[in-house]
Amino acid sequence: MMLLEYEAKRLLRGVGIQTPQGHVVFSERDLAALALTYPLAAKVQVASGGRGKRGGVVKVDDAHGAQRAVAMLLETQLDGEASRAVLLEPWLPLERELYLSVTVDGTAGGYVVLYSPHGGIDVESGAPPVRYAPGRLQRFRAHELREVLSPVEHDSVVRERVLLLARRLLMLAATRDCLTVEINPLGVLSEGRLIAVDAKVVRDDAAGFRAPEIDAAIRSSWDLEPDPVRLALQGRLSYVRLEGDVGLISGGAGMTMAVMDLIDAAGGRPACFLDCSANPTPSGYRLAFEMLDADPSIGVILVSIFGGGTHMERVARVMVEIMDERCSTKPVVFRLDGTNADQIPAIFGRRGLVNCASIEDAVRDAVDLARSRGASIVGGER
């Protein structure tokens, strides 16, 4: 989950990284209690990136401008996300804008540090950041990062300060279960100090229990996400929406991805990655069906679950209950296998359901149903 900017900066300050001294306001009334100095930057608090290019950051020169900016930004939506707050910070005169981040990279066996001497809203249009891959915090070596930075950062004072910040970012990422910690821009002030003008922190949702105070902040931001994503997070389902029409409910990331590949190989288009393995309960499966039934672009639902420790006759009974409760007419194709799978035909038979003999058969049936539904819709439109 991506934290809001003011939440991310709170974590940065916790490891000794300087940020502007700002104020968070949740309504226009909050302004009355603040003693502000101008000019200010008024920044909408949403999880979307690119706020500066889309009117989400406004320069404010006086109290009247602050009132207007806060009112406008509180009504702003970016990528369907409604603003929850506005962050007011000093408008800083920067000598330079840099880019510094730490992110997870599987090829590095953990974390990588990325740095560019040119940051800000157009960082993507410049040369790619240089990369240092320690993997783990314990493997960080200042001299190794210095060698990486030297060809691109010629100011030795800035370079040494970046070294210090990079280590602190690694410490934050490792101790707070962060997938990404990014400062862009990392501002250079006239006296040479570095300050995190903007920050992005993405945490591993599954690790929230290890830091309850941060998890509370994440949960407060759930309603900024599109509804299916928010519901999946709350229900402990792993969900990624794709562009296809075959909805997939599965268990285990590996199996889910394998079935997605089979759908593609059969000429179909998977509509989602939806893994229920973290919540293989009646409520988890019900939520999965509710999400896919509510998506008008999904024409058929394929349920592919293999149970080793899970008793599949119990899963089959839950599926029968869900089928009895559903209002949707979308067809559902089943492939349940694993422990006590021999009991599934009798359980399904009482409801008139069929458990396909193989995953290949199930995929073929689902793709054929989706294709026929698509043809009928096109024909109806004609």
**The predicted structure's pLDDT at residue 225:** 47
Q: Does 6 reside within a domain? A: no
Percent of the chain with pLDDT over 70: 92
Q: Are both 265 and 346 inside the same structural domain? A: yes
Q: Which two tokens stand for residue 233?
A: 């997070």
Q: Does 2 reside within a domain? A: no
Q: Does 127 reside within a domain? A: yes
Claim: this prediction has a pTM higher than 0.85: no
Q: Which two tokens stand for residue 229?
A: 């994503």
Q: Which two tokens stand for residue 72?
A: 């406008």
Secondary structure class of 104 (helix, strand, coil)? strand
pLDDT one-digit tens code per residue, 362-378:
999 999 999 987 654 44
**The predicted structure's pLDDT at residue 374:** 64
Q: Are both 322 and 377 inside the same structural domain? A: yes
Q: Are both 55 and 76 inside the same structural domain? A: yes
Q: What CATH number is associated with residue 248? A: 3.40.50.261
Helix axis angle for 312-325 and 282-293, nearest 10°, is 40
Q: Are both 314 and 254 inside the same structural domain? A: yes
Q: Are both 135 and 230 inside the same structural domain? A: no
- Cα 353 to chain centroid, rounded: 36
**The predicted structure's pLDDT at residue 310:** 83
Domain boundary among 59, 75, 90: 90
Q: What CATH number is associated with residue 157? A: 3.30.470.20
Pairing of strands 96-105, 178-188: antiparallel
Domain boundary among 193, 216, 239: 216
Q: Are both 65 and 188 inside the same structural domain? A: no
pLDDT one-digit tens code per residue, 83-117:
889 999 999 999 999 999 999 998 889 999 999 99
Buried b (16+ CB within 10 A) or exposed e, 93-115: ebebbbbbbbbeeeebebbbbbb
Q: Are both 312 and 256 inside the same structural domain? A: yes
Q: Are both 57 and 130 inside the same structural domain? A: no
Q: Are both 33 and 114 inside the same structural domain? A: no
- The per-residue pLDDT of the chain, averaged, comes to 90
Q: Are both 152 and 232 inside the same structural domain? A: no
| Domain range enclosing 199 | 96-216
Q: Are both 56 and 147 inside the same structural domain? A: no
Q: Which helix (H) or strand (E) holds 5?
A: helix 5-14
Q: Does 365 reside within a domain? A: yes
**The predicted structure's pLDDT at residue 231:** 79
pLDDT one-digit tens code per residue, 29-43:
999 889 999 999 999
pLDDT one-digit tens code per residue, 294-326:
998 999 999 999 988 889 999 999 999 999 999
- Cα 69 to chain centroid, rounded: 28
pLDDT one-digit tens code per residue, 254-303:
999 999 999 999 999 999 999 999 899 999 999 999 999 999 899 999 99
Question: Among 223, 204, 224, 199, which residue's Cα sits nearest to residue 214?
Answer: 204
Tally of structural domains, the chain: 3
